[in-house]
Structure 1
Amino acid sequence: MCMSHLSSIRIVSNMPSYKLTYFDARGSAELTRLALAAAGADFEDDRLSREEWAALKPETPQGKVPIFKVDEKVIPQSRAMLRYIARQYGLYGKDNEEKTDVDVVIETVQDLNDQIFRSFFESDEKKKAELHKELLDKTVPTYFKIFEKLLGKKDWMVGSKLSIADLAVMNVFDYMDPLYEKVNGQSIYAKNPVMKNHADRVKAIQNIKEWLEERPETDRRYRYMSHLLSIRIVSNMPSYKLTYFNGKGGAELTRLAFAAAGVDYEDERVTREDWPALKPETPQGKLPILKVDEKVIPQSRAMLRYIARQYGLYGKDNQEQTDVDVVIETVQDLNEQIFKSFFESDEKKKAELHKELLDKTVPTYFKIFEKLLGKKDWMVGSKLSIADLAVMNVFDYIDPMCVKVNGQSIYAKNPVMKTHADRVKEIPNINKWLKKRPESEF
C-alpha cells in the first residue's frame, strides 16, 4: 500500500512491523484495516481459511481472531487494536475531550452492530425477516439521526480532521447498504444526504479510496460481521454528575473509577417512574450519562475511558493503554455471556445458560485473565488501572449467583484472581466505596 502523507496524520519513524490476522472477511477486522489504510501504514493482511484457523486457535491469546501482531507483541480484541493504531497515527482526537467524543461514536456504532448481529444470527427465518424489517425501518433511521446530531455542521465526526469515528460510521452503514438496497430498492443513504456526504468525504481520502478499490472481495460479508491507570491530580476540577438507575449495571465501573481517583461526583439514581420524562432529554435515549460541567457524555465505556485518561487510570503510554483496552473488551465479552443468561425469558433455558456460564464460561475467562495478569500485581503495568477495576467488578457481580448455585465463592478455585481482587478492594478509596455504596435492585 502506498505510504502517502496525510496532512492530518503524523508520521512515526522506526515503523514497527504489523500483521493483522482474521478470516477472509471484513467483519471485526475491517475497521482496523481502514485505520491502517488511513495512516498509510503497511501491514500484512493475513486471511485464514477455516482449516488454518483450527490449527492456529490454540496459539492465540484468547482463542479468537482478529489478532494484531506489532513486532513480537500480539494484541487481541478488535477495538483494542483499533485504538492502538488510532493513538499511534493521530486518528483518536487531539485531547481527552476529543478522545472521549471519539469513544462515544465508537461505542454507539457498537450498539448498532449489536442490533445487526441480533437480526443476522437469528435461526428462525420468520423471526429473522421481522428483525431485518425492524432493523431497516426503525433502527437504522434512529442511528442516522444520532450520528447526524453528533456530526452537526462539521466535516468530521470529531474535531477538525479524520478520526476512527469517521471510519466506524462510514464502515457500518456501507456494510449494511447492499441489504438495505435489496430490501427497499434504494441505497441506505437515499434519505440521509448529510451522512452520505460524510461517507463520501471519508471515501474520497486517497489512502481510503485505494484500500476500498483494492481490498479483496469476500463471500462472508454478512456472516462474519463487525462486532464492532498512582493517580495524578488535576487542577480546576470540573463538576461531575453520573446519571443511572438504582443499580450497578452499566454505571458501576465508572463509579469505581471515580472512587479510585478520589473524585467527588453526584451519583444521581433515577427511578423507573422518572425515566420516561428524562429519556427524551438524553443524547441517545439511554443511560448511563455523565455530565462534565455542561457537556453530556453517553456510552458507559466512553465515560469510563474519559475518567481513566483524566486521572491516570489508563496506562502510561500507547502500549499500556492498548493492554488496558484488551482487558476492558475481554470483560465486555464476558458481560455479553452474562447478559445472555440473565435476560433469557424461558426459565428452563435460563437454568441451562446459568449452568453453562458457571461451569464453562467463567473458568475459561479466569484462565484468560490469569494469563493476562501473569506474575504482576496489576493487570497492566505497575499500578492500578481501570483494567483491574473491570476484572474485579465483573467477577464480584456474578459471585452471589455462583455461591447460590454451587455453594461456594466464584474465587474458590481461582486463588490468583482472588488475591488480585482483594488487592484492588484493599485500596482505601475502593474499600470505602464498596462499604458505603447504596444497596441496589440489580
Structure 2
Amino acid sequence: MPVYVLRHFRAEIIRLLFVAKGQEFEDKLYTFETWPAEKPNTPFGQLPVLTVDGKDYTEYTAINRFLARELGLMGSNSQEEYEIDRVISLSSGVSAEVIKIFHEQDKDKKAQLEKSLRENVIPKFMSNLEQLAPPEGTGFCVGNKLNLGDLIIFDTIDGKTDDATMNKFPSVKAIMDKVRSNERIKAYLASRAPTPFD
C-alpha cells in the first residue's frame, strides 16, 4: 500500500480524492508563517507537493489527475477522461478569479471582485456545466460513479453561491448534493480544519 504525504496551503481536491476513497494520507497543512522554513525542501519552492513512497509530485492539476487515476476516480475510459478534463478546463477560469480576490489588497476592489464572482463568474460556470450534464441526471458529471470532475465542481462552487442561483441549475445541484451526501465526505466536511485560504 503506498504511503501518501500531502504538503499544502489548500489542496482541497487532493484531500477530497483521498477522503472519497477512504485512503489514509498524512495531511501537512502549512500557514504563511510556517511556510518559509519548508520552502527550501520543496521542488520549485512551491506547494502543493504530494509525496508517494518518497517520490515528490508537483503542480496541482497534474497531481489531481495522477491521483484520480491511481484511486480509480478519473473515469472508466478515454471519453470519460476527456469529459473530466473539460470540467478541469472550465473550472480554471473560476480559480483564477478566486486567486485574484485573495491577492487584492484594496477593500473596495476586493468587494467588487467578490460580487462579480457570485453574480457573474459562478453562474456562468454553472450554466456551462448544465449544458454538459448527462441527460439522464445521474448526479455525476460523467458516468455513474463519483469522479474527479464531481469533486472539482463541488469545491469550485461550494460556499460561493446561494440557493436561488443553485436551483436554476438542477443538474449541477444534483452533483453538489451527491458529493455532499457521500458518507465519507460528509464526515470530513463536518470536521475539516480551516486553511489559510478559508
TM-score (norm 2): 0.89
1:320 aligned residue:
80
- Indicate the SS of the match to 2:166: coil
Is the contact between residue 260 and residue 430 of structure 1 (CA under 8 Å) also seen in structure 2? yes
Q: Percent sequence identity over matched residues?
A: 36
Rounded Cα–Cα distance in structure 1 between residues aligned with 2:123 and 2:32: 35
Rounded Cα–Cα distance in structure 2 between residues aligned with 1:433 and 1:359: 29
2:155 aligned residue:
393
Higher alpha-carbon deviation: 337-346 or 366-375: 337-346
1:239 aligned residue:
3
**Cα shift readout 1:380-439 (whole Å, capped 9, x = no counterpart):** 12211100000011111424xx6xxxxx66525444322221111111222221122113
Rounded Cα–Cα distance in structure 2 between residues aligned with 1:410 and 1:337: 19
Is the contact between residue 395 and residue 410 of structure 1 (CA under 8 Å) also seen in structure 2? no
2:67 aligned residue:
307
Instruction: Indicate whether 1:273 and 2:33 are aligned.
Output: yes
2:186 aligned residue:
431
Is the contact between residue 314 and residue 324 of structure 1 (CA under 8 Å) also seen in structure 2? yes
Q: Which runs of 5+ in 2 are unaligned?
A: none
Could you say what the CA RMSD is over the residues aligned between the two structures, in angstroms?
A: 1.9
Which of 105, 124, 130 is residue 370 of structure 1 equivalent to?
130
2:47 aligned residue:
287
Q: Give the CA deviation at 1:374.
A: 3.4
- Indicate the SS of the match to 2:46: coil
**Cα shift readout 1:40-84 (whole Å, capped 9, x = no counterpart):** xxxxxxxxxxxxxxxxxxxxxxxxxxxxxxxxxxxxxxxxxxxxx
**Cα shift readout 1:306-344 (whole Å, capped 9, x = no counterpart):** 211111100111111111111012111211122223322
Rounded Cα–Cα distance in structure 2 between residues aligned with 1:258 and 1:409: 31
Pair 298,413 (structure 1): closer, same or farther in 2 beyond 3 Å? same
Rounded Cα–Cα distance in structure 2 between residues aligned with 1:374 and 1:349: 38
Q: Which runs of 5+ in 1 are unaligned?
A: 1-236, 403-407
Rounded Cα–Cα distance in structure 2 between residues aligned with 1:435 and 1:345: 31
1:384 aligned residue:
146
**Cα shift readout 1:286-315 (whole Å, capped 9, x = no counterpart):** 111111011011111121112111111001
Rounded Cα–Cα distance in structure 2 between residues aligned with 1:239 and 1:416: 36
Is the contact between residue 305 and residue 314 of structure 1 (CA under 8 Å) also seen in structure 2? yes
In the TM superposition, what are the counterparts of 1:138-157 in structure 2 within 5 Å?
Answer: none
Pair 410,288 (structure 1): closer, same or farther in 2 beyond 3 Å? farther
Rounded Cα–Cα distance in structure 2 between residues aligned with 1:327 and 1:317: 16
Rounded Cα–Cα distance in structure 2 between residues aligned with 1:341 and 1:259: 28
1:384 aligned partner, one-letter code: L
**Cα shift readout 1:341-361 (whole Å, capped 9, x = no counterpart):** 332222222222222222222
2:106 aligned residue:
346
Pair 422,268 (structure 1): closer, same or farther in 2 beyond 3 Å? same
Pair 387,364 (structure 1): closer, same or farther in 2 beyond 3 Å? same
2:188 aligned partner, one-letter code: W
- Indicate the SS of the match to 2:99: helix
Is the contact between residue 122 and residue 160 of structure 2 (CA under 8 Å) also seen in structure 1? no
2:172 aligned residue:
417
TM-score (norm 1): 0.42
Rounded Cα–Cα distance in structure 2 between residues aligned with 1:342 and 1:268: 22
- Indicate the SS of the match to 2:66: helix
Rounded Cα–Cα distance in structure 1 between residues aligned with 2:157 and 2:77: 27
